[in-house]
Structure 1
Amino acid sequence: MGLTLALGGDAILTRRISECGSPDAQAIFDLFRRSDLGIVNCEMLLHDFDAPELYPSAEAGWTYMRAPRFVAEELASIGIRLVGTANNHFLDYAVGGLFSTHKALAAAGIEFAGSGHDLAQARAPAFYDTPDHRVSLVSMTTSATRASRAAPPHDGIPGRPGINPLGWHYCGDAETVAQAVAIATKFGSWVAKVSDREWQINPPGLHHTVQRYFVTDMPGAGMILDEDDEAANLRSIRTARQNSDVVIAHIHTHEWDQESGSAAVPPRFLPPFARRAIDAGADIVLSQGSHAPLRGIEIYKGKPIFYDPGDLFAMSGLVTRFPAEFYTRHDVHRLDDALPAEGVAARQKYFKEFMVNPVGGYQNGRGRLGVVPVVKLEGRKAVRIELHPFTHVHTTVSQFGMPMRVDGDTAQQILTHLSDLSRPFGSRISIENSIGQIDLT
């Protein structure tokens, strides 16, 4: 039997969408409704500021993401039944926000992967059963605060709730690493040489806030994945392979390729890992979170790797309440009378006026747009991919951050841009009737 999956990037959703009157928004929602299963990244904490142990973390994923609990029901109403929760925001409101979101998703009939009571739960696959298939999801993130990482139990001590990390470390040739060590020394950091090829740098007294630098044969500077995180996540994918018909590996990542300086190009460590995920048993790799807004598509051994289809919903500008750190982070210090709009405006100023790397900021000068990949499978094999373009229209508050179907010249421009980004991966996208297509038969 065939299976159709509709995929989305970040669901940054703050309000009800089920009664949206826009036919263009409903056309995008129908892509999920008509599919056997919709899958996205849940970028919001779902709570009403009243859950136990709920308080703002000292360090968040920048914006403190929060939406009412009913948002889970709204996602379910358009056919989203499986979500990743490993991302840089999932501990914005500490463990209270995490557990409140888990409860809201479960109550709405949405399965989730990527976070849990401890590291084993966070790394475990989630499963969703359609009438003819069992689909699994392993969710991980390269972008997260250290405090948000889940931990395993040990020596009779409980594990720590949090997200499933796919961590990374800095690397470079000997000269580049020596320069980093020299600068850290000048600024008064702790510096330790723990082997011929590894240095560790941390603030004085904070011996767990460690940055690791590895000397490699690669010229210049870059990042390498943490070997333990990589091996554990590949093991989770192999577990999912044994227990499901179709396996999806989800990777939430904000990092970019430092050589190009463009957020539209994934970091050098990501494509090799995505291919290893397929070798381990994944049928689809869904990477997202860059806000670039798009990254390319690769077909590896006949299986698709989406490096970022773009944010499905983009409503962070409509979050209604923020803790003190959000304002002071953006130099808004009148905490007694500061409005959320002032904090959001200061955040946007940071992007538009101060950002020097990546070039053009996250959005790479292209604004809010994306595609919904609809993947049609026969058994485990993807046979056809349709790419449905959309934009986010900000003309009214009721439509702010909502994905709107586009056609004609706008669709052609989006799909041509995606095709250009996919060309380095050897992928060819044809365009017909304002829809991108990749034939894998």
Structure 2
Amino acid sequence: MSRLTLALSGDCMATRGALITSAPAAEELHGLLHSADFAFTNLEVVPATGRGHPVHNAASGGGLIADAGVVDEITRAGFTVLGCANNHALDLGTEGVLGTTDLLTAKGIPHAGIGADLTAARRPVYVDRPGGSLAVISCSSTFLPGQEAAAPSPDLPGRPGLNPLRYTATLHVTPAQLDVLREIDGDTGLRARRAEARTLLGFDPAMPGPDRLTLFGTRFQAADTPGFTTACDPKDLDDIARWVAEARRRADLVLVSVHSHEPGPTPDTPGEFLREFAHRMIDEGADVVVGHGPHLLRGLELHHGKPIFYSLGNIVSQIELADHIPAEDYAKVTAPGAPHPTPGHYFATLSANGRRLFAPHRRYWQSLLPVLTFDAGTLTTIDLHPIDLGHGHPVHHRGRPRLADAPLTKEILTDFAALSEGYGTRIEVGGTGVVELPTSCPKPLHTTDVAGNPAARVAG
């Protein structure tokens, strides 16, 4: 294997054309993507192929469906491999997800994370270049029940869907607080309504042990100190890890993509299970883990010298330009007897004309495009390219990426440095441009600004 470059990005929610504009900073980004051996993005939109029907999408609050031509726009922008496991992948149901896989396959676009059954959704996609190969595994922790792919049985075919990373969430409460919850369970009559379940099962499913209680769909566990924790489903963790180990044997580079909206203690931090997952993937042989989902940047961690980007935010966001709106979504903004709204009216009403949801939040419209360079399989450089998505611009202009100018570059990198501190990653904005990895990784990494000048110093 010779020198290989890998460009990474977060969520790509393309619903219109000309993702790369004629602005010089956009054309520079275009050049970066096309010059990389591999350019990855997360396809968070369903390209409508005439298959499938809208689903009630409580996992995301609305459908995200576009004309099939958006995939051509995405590849023209320079993206060469797609992760497809996310909470919008099944906005047109199982037939819709099969339509997506068939469309991408017919166009020769490498993709991972969705498939006709669990094995198809789990397995890596391999992308070969003259200088070497890349394996990509894509999974999601955010999805509706039944959207996860399932394995076939001896009697029935498997279920089409996405590659799931399930997790458990537990509220830790004091013994006294657990006693109060048990009182609520009994006094409200909830316990009495489980009489049939107790008869059939021989035990109360809501009370699996003396120190545990499942109530209102939430798991409670007695503990000395109250708190909230999440943990990966062991079976999903082991099964995805198995495919990472397989990919390690069959490709020069291994990328794991994970879509997760679930926050940790703050919106800026990932859920505990996601850090558990990322560490395991690196331990099994992944060269990099890239996260997305919360639509904002989260920090960078170096685990055994290998990068974990907990969220790269958005690379394209044209949600408000979508033209395919399910009837249930229209109903959310339509008064009884009112005329049927247009797509533009729907989004304007939903966002209170840009005063709520994503439009007013600057961090939603800022992201990073890391470009990683590997020499003979060893990570040698990371170039962090801050991205501007046009915060404050009209709806039909914002959401298309360009390299950030110098002031915004400094702002984004300063924020990113603060987000990374909790993982022991130090980024000195305006430093020499050398990124120092742990001693196990002897070669330095560096970041550059829009003009190609050193912008930050990082130490793990």
Q: TM-score range by the shorter chain?
A: 0.7 to 0.9
Partner of 2:122: 123
Deviation at 1:363, TM superposition (A): 8.3
Partner of 2:252: 245
- For 2:15, the aligned partner's letter is T
* SS of aligned partner of 2:47: coil
Aligned pairs (5 A) from 1:331-370: 337-349=340-352, 366-370=363-367
Aligned pairs (5 A) from 1:34-113: 34-48=35-49, 50-51=50-51, 54-60=52-58, 61-113=60-112
Partner of 1:193: 207
Partner of 2:316: 313
Indicate how the Cα distance of structure 1 residues 413 and 122 shifts in structure 2: closer, same or farther if over 3 A, else same.
same
User: Does the CA contact (< 8 Å) of 1:252 and 1:288 recur in 2?
Assistant: yes
Q: Which residue, out of 265, 277, 284, partners 1:280?
A: 284
Q: For each residue in 1:352-390, what CA deviation from the matched residue of structure 2 results, as whole angstroms up to 9, or x when unmatched?
A: 66x9xxxxx898663411110101111322111111112
Q: Which residue, out of 393, 396, 410, partners 1:395?
A: 393
Normalised by the length of structure 1, the TM-score is: 0.86
Partner of 2:297: 294
Indicate how the Cα distance of structure 1 residues 427 and 199 shifts in structure 2: closer, same or farther if over 3 A, else same.
same
Q: State the superposition RMSD in angstroms.
A: 2.9
- Find out whether 1:236 has 2:237 as its counterpart: no
Deviation at 1:348, TM superposition (A): 2.4
User: Does the CA contact (< 8 Å) of 1:263 and 1:364 recur in 2?
Assistant: no
Deviation at 1:12, TM superposition (A): 0.4
2: distance between equivalents of 1:384 and 1:390?
19
User: Does the CA contact (< 8 Å) of 1:63 and 1:316 recur in 2?
Assistant: no
Q: Which residue, out of 372, 381, 396, partners 1:384?
A: 381
Deviation at 1:58, TM superposition (A): 2.2
Partner of 2:421: 423
Q: For each residue in 1:150-205, what CA deviation from the matched residue of structure 2 results, as whole angstroms up to 9, or x when unmatched?
A: 11112311111101111112213243666667667749586622345654557xxx
Deviation at 1:410, TM superposition (A): 1.4
User: Does the CA contact (< 8 Å) of 1:177 and 1:214 recur in 2?
Assistant: yes
Partner of 2:9: 8
2: distance between equivalents of 1:181 and 1:365?
44
Indicate the larger mover: 193-202 or 366-375.
Answer: 193-202
* SS of aligned partner of 1:160: coil
Q: For each residue in 1:299-327, what CA deviation from the matched residue of structure 2 results, as whole angstroms up to 9, or x when unmatched?
A: 11111101112100011011012111112
Partner of 1:165: 164
Indicate how the Cα distance of structure 1 residues 73 and 362 shifts in structure 2: closer, same or farther if over 3 A, else same.
closer
Partner of 1:405: 403
Indicate the larger mover: 221-230 or 129-138.
Answer: 221-230
Partner of 1:303: 306
- Find out whether 1:434 has 2:435 as its counterpart: no
Indicate how the Cα distance of structure 1 residues 313 and 137 shifts in structure 2: closer, same or farther if over 3 A, else same.
same
Bigger radius of gyration: 2
* SS of aligned partner of 1:269: helix
- For 2:327, the aligned partner's letter is A
Indicate how the Cα distance of structure 1 residues 109 and 225 shifts in structure 2: closer, same or farther if over 3 A, else same.
same
User: Does the CA contact (< 8 Å) of 1:384 and 1:438 recur in 2?
Assistant: no
User: Does the CA contact (< 8 Å) of 1:303 and 1:381 recur in 2?
Assistant: no
Identity %: 29
2: distance between equivalents of 1:196 and 1:364?
45
* SS of aligned partner of 1:39: strand
Q: How many residues align?
A: 420
2: distance between equivalents of 1:123 and 1:174?
36
Normalised by the length of structure 2, the TM-score is: 0.83
User: Does the CA contact (< 8 Å) of 1:251 and 1:286 recur in 2?
Assistant: yes
